[in-house]
Amino acid sequence: MTTPAIAATPTSAAPEAGEEHPHIPGAHGGIVIPIGSDSYHAEAVIEKDGVFRLLMLGADETRIQEVDVQAVKAYIKASGDTDATPIDMKATPQDGDAPDKTSQFVGQLPKEAVGKAIDVTIPNLRIGTERFRVGFTTAVEVHDNGMPAAVTGDEEQQLYFTAAGKYTEADIKANGPLSAGTKFKGFMSKHDMNPKPGEKICPVTFTKANPKIEWQVNGQKYLFCCPPCVDEFVRMAKEEPEDVLKPEEYVQKEKLGRGGVGSEGAENKKDQVTPDSSTPTSQLDPEIAEALAGLDADDRKLAEAQKFCAVMTDNLLGSMGTPVKVDVNGETVFLCCDGCKGKALRKADETLAKVAKLKNDQAANSK
C-alpha cells in the first residue's frame, strides 16, 4: 500500500509561462511530473515507510522509459525547511528492462521527512545523451488570487451527487457520475489572469478557461480554470441558479477585466498606474474610475473606503465593471463581480472580516 505524493508542482523543466498543462495521476498511485518541457516524465511514488520510487516514463506519460543505469542523487527537505538532505537513488530495474538499463530508481527518505510534504531536487538525471535537472514538491497547492478551495468528503458527496436548482440528475449522469476532484485528479493548475478578447473564461474567477476542465450544468458544457472552480459553480447552480449564465456568456470582452487594459494592450499599459492599497482613486485607470462612477455618491464613498473586492481581495473594485453591492448580515459590501456573490454570502463572517481589514488598510494608508 502506498501513500502517493499529492498535488505535485514541478519546479524545473516546467511548461512555458501561462501554458495550461494537466498531468494524469500515475498508474502506481503517485504523481506524474514533467522532465525537459514534457520530453519525458517520471512518476514519483512515496510509500508509507518513506521508500521513494522514481519510475521513468516517456513523452505521453503512459509508456515506460528505459535509461542508462547511473548514480542518481536526490536532495530532500520537508516543505518550508531550508536545509536539504542528500539521498542515493539506486537503479532498480523492473521486469523487462534491458541489460544495463533501468526504468526505476529507489531511495529512502530521511527520517525527519517521512510522512511530511517534501521538496525534491535531482540535479543530474541522464536520459539518452541529454542531462536534466528535476524538481517537484508534494505540498498541496494552495489557491491564491481569491480562487476557491476544493471541497472534500461528505461535502463533496452532497455537492455533486444530489440534484438541485440548475444542477440536474442528467448532469450528474453526464459527468461520470464523478466529482471534479476525482475526475481531474492530478491536474496542475496554472492561472492565466489576462485572457485575450474572445477567449473563453472561467465562470468563477474570470481567468482564462482550460478546455480540459469541462463540466455539464443544466445540460450545457462549461469550461473552468481548475477543479475547485467547478465546485463553486456547481454550488452556485444549486443555490443561486439565477446567477448562472449560458456558456457563451463566459467569453472575455474587448476590454480586459483585470487591470483595466483594453484591446489596445501592452502599448498603453506602461502609461497606467499599477493600483495598490495606497493608490489614490484620482490616479486610477480611467476605465476603473468610470466603473466607480456607476455608483451613487454614498455607495462610491463606501466602495472607495473598501477599494478591493471582499472575496478576490487582489481585485480592485471597478476593474471588472461597476462593483456589485451586496448586503452581508446588514453591512454593505462591494464585490468585483457577480461571480463572487455566492461565496461572500455563504461565508459571511469571513467576508466581513476581510472588509474590515481592507478598510483599516485604506485608513492607515490615507494618513
Segment among 91-95, 218-222, 360-364 with least mean pLDDT: 360-364
The answer to whether the beta carbons of residues 303 and 317 sit under 8 Å apart is yes
Q: Which three cell numbers stand for residue 72?
A: 542518481
Domain ranges of the chain: 9-137, 153-249, 266-365
DSSP state of 1: -
Q: Which three cell numbers stand for residue 252?
A: 472575455
Residue range 180-205: average pLDDT? 78
pLDDT digits (tens, 9 = 90+) for 130-151: 999 888 887 644 444 444 555 5
The answer to whether the beta carbons of residues 334 and 301 sit under 8 Å apart is no
Separation between Cα atoms, residue 324 and residue 311, nearest integer Å: 12
Q: With 60 as the cut, is the pLDDT of residue 277 above it?
A: no
Confidence of residue 66 (pLDDT cuts 50, 70, 90): very high
Separation between Cα atoms, residue 32 and residue 53, nearest integer Å: 12
Segment among 121-135, 235-249, 314-328 with least mean pLDDT: 314-328
Residue range 198-208: average pLDDT? 86
> Between the CA of residue 344 and those of 135, 187, 205, 296, what are the distances in Å?
37, 27, 14, 22
pLDDT digits (tens, 9 = 90+) for 326-353: 999 899 999 987 767 777 887 888 899 9
Number of alpha carbons in the 13 Å side-chain half-sphere of residue 84: 14
Segment among 83-92, 124-133, 273-282, 309-318 with least mean pLDDT: 273-282
Class of domain 9-137: mainly beta
Of 116, 156, 135, the closest CA to residue 6 belongs to 116
Q: For 209-259, where are the E strands, in sequence order?
A: 210-217, 220-224
Consecutive H or E run containing 37: none
Residue range 254-261: average pLDDT? 39
Separation between Cα atoms, residue 318 and residue 311, nearest integer Å: 14
For residue 95, give every residue at least 6 positions away whose Cβ sits within 8 Å of its Cβ, in sequence order, or none.
none
Q: With 80 as the cut, is the pLDDT of residue 41 above it?
A: yes
Q: State the chain's mean pLDDT as an integer.
A: 78
Q: With 80 as the cut, is the pLDDT of residue 103 above it?
A: yes
pTM value?
Answer: 0.42
Q: With 90 as the cut, is the pLDDT of residue 89 above it?
A: yes
For residue 290, the model assigns a pLDDT of 84
How many CB atoms neighbour CB 244 within 10 A?
21
The answer to whether the beta carbons of residues 223 and 213 sit under 8 Å apart is yes
For residue 8, the model assigns a pLDDT of 36
Q: What percent of the chain lies above the pLDDT cut of 90?
A: 37
Q: With 50 as the cut, is the pLDDT of residue 156 above it?
A: yes
For residue 332, the model assigns a pLDDT of 94
pLDDT digits (tens, 9 = 90+) for 281-310: 444 467 788 889 889 999 999 999 999 989
